[in-house]
Amino acid sequence: MNCRHCGAPLRHTFLDLGFAPPSNAYLKAEDLNRPETYFPLKIRVCDRCWLVQTEDYAKADALFSPDYAYFSSTSAGWLAHAQRYAQTMTQRLGLGAGSFVIEVAANDGYLLKNFVASGIPCLGIEPTASTAAAAEAIGVPVLREFFGEALGRRLAGEGRQADLIAGNNVYAHVPDINDFTRGLAAALKPGGTITLEFPHLLRLIEHAQFDTVYHEHFSYLSIHAVQQIFEAAGLRIYDVEELPTHGGSVRIYGCHAAAAFAVQPEVERILRLEVEGGLLDLSTYQAFQARADQVKDALLGFLLEQKRLGKTVAAYGAAAKGNTLLNYAGVKPDLLPFVCDAAPAKQGKYLPGSHIPILEPRALAERRPDYVLILPWNIAAEVREQNKYLADQGTRFVTAVPELEVQ
């Protein structure tokens, strides 16, 4: 396989998690007796441009089905994050009734509803029918297509270039990152701004966040790699922010190469941090597998020990990252009988691979487990606060990444 960006041969493996089903392919009861599709989950690193990427097996249409179950509005913390972003960008860029905002991967309208409320014209690009319908229901205009260069050029030809293009947690999901980036360039006004948020590869490596690896994530991104991808499309990065979301993300600010935006000092600072963190050193990537195995072994040891002691363990959050962890560890319902999730779209279904049933959160109150394993560790504080009554009754909360922690 060759690098999806620069075309160099991919000779180095970063992480091999064996075979797994797509992490968001939740199952209905009638699916349990049918064969499940598994894909290799192997991540490689390019030693020329340092783009970290999955081996190319799964196709986008197999991963993002019409009933795709991830709805951004489920998390109160994420809604607040989106609202703050909309306020900040409106002020920073001077957006108003004469502006135009595009969000790529608009999901259920969690972000653009803030621009709609402010009277700022906007358009969501969202190929998944279930989430697009939810966005339209709250007044967000949606184009139900995958985004790429062809769509970007079409929007430009229709006079719909944007003052702001936002993309939250989509850049890592695109199979052809060069085509997607050329689409951003085509759809952006000459003086416009692109913001992309994505989990930072530096934090993934630093905190052993291997469970954020799944088929839907085609790329694992550093600023070094994105800078090169942008430059190839006639764009440049002029600012970077570090964010606490998803265990450590970055928000990059991009513009056309000839735009007037001055490059901010933060860009150089983050690039320097990546060098110091070993992101341009092949040995950093080659050492990561052992760290992932330590996390997996610690979780499996904990679950086996609780079963031996007769203790009960449940999980909270039917998140994609949890599916990666549970499938790599080989966890089944004998060790983890159920997982609770607040999203109605997931309740009554089963986790892919492990076939653990997904119940409503009230099941925790009814069954009062000895331990609750929080699978989406990035919102662990929010989950603990929402379920504080369990701790008052003696239940202890557990997270597995970056290391096993019992509170």
Q: Tell me the pLDDT tens digit for each residue of 117-162.
A: 999 999 999 998 889 999 999 999 999 999 999 999 999 999 999 9
232 has a pLDDT exceeding 80: yes
Under a CB-based contact definition with an 8 Å cutoff, are residues 377 and 399 in contact? yes
What number is the average pLDDT over the span 163-183? 96
CB atoms within 10 A of CB 139: 11
| Superfamily of domain 72-277 in the CATH hierarchy | Vaccinia Virus protein VP39 (3.40.50.150)
Give tens-digit pLDDT for 356-385: 999 999 999 999 999 999 999 988 999 999
CATH 3.40.50.720 in the chain, residues?
Answer: 288-406
Candidates 388, 380, 348, 345; CA nearest to 364 is 388
Q: What pLDDT shows up at residue 128?
A: 87
Q: What pLDDT shows up at residue 244?
A: 87
Q: What pLDDT shows up at residue 68?
A: 55
Candidates 273, 85, 110, 354; CA nearest to 193 is 85
226 has a pLDDT exceeding 70: yes
274 has a pLDDT exceeding 90: yes
- CATH code of domain 288-406: 3.40.50.720
What is the amino acid identity at position 83?
Q
Strand order in the sheet with 39-45: 12-20, 39-45, 52-54, 219-220
pLDDT band at 65 (very low <50, low <70, confident <90, very high): low
74 has a pLDDT exceeding 80: no
Give tens-digit pLDDT for 377-399: 988 999 999 999 999 999 999 99
CATH 3.40.50.150 in the chain, residues?
Answer: 72-277
What number is the average pLDDT over the span 35-54? 95
How many CA atoms are closer than 13 Å to the CA of 390, on its beta-carbon side?
27
Q: What pLDDT shows up at residue 299?
A: 98
Give tens-digit pLDDT for 301-349: 999 999 999 999 999 999 999 999 999 999 999 999 999 999 898 999 9
CA-to-CA distance for 133 and 142, rounded, in angstroms? 8
CB atoms within 10 A of CB 76: 12
DSSP states along 184-227: HHHHEEEEEEEEEEEEBHHHHHHTT-GGG--TT--EEB-HHHHH
Q: Spell out the residues 6+ positions from residue 119 whose beta carbon is closer than 8 angstroms to its own.
A: 96, 97
Q: What pLDDT shows up at residue 195?
A: 98
69 has a pLDDT exceeding 70: no
Q: What pLDDT shows up at residue 77?
A: 81
DSSP states along 240-283: EEEE-GGGSEEEEEEEETTS-PPPPHHHHHHHHHHHHTTTT-HH
Please, what is the average pLDDT of the chain?
94
Q: Look at 17-26, 158-167, 191-200 and tell me which has the smallest mean pLDDT.
A: 17-26
What is the amino acid identity at position 60?
A
Candidates 219, 170, 288, 292; CA nearest to 10 is 219
131 burial via Cβ count (<10 Å: 0-12, 13-18, 19+):
buried
Tokens 């600023």, residue? 223
What is the amino acid identity at position 134?
A
What number is the average pLDDT over the span 289-299? 97
84 has a pLDDT exceeding 60: yes
CA-to-CA distance for 340 and 346, rounded, in angstroms? 9
61 has a pLDDT exceeding 80: no
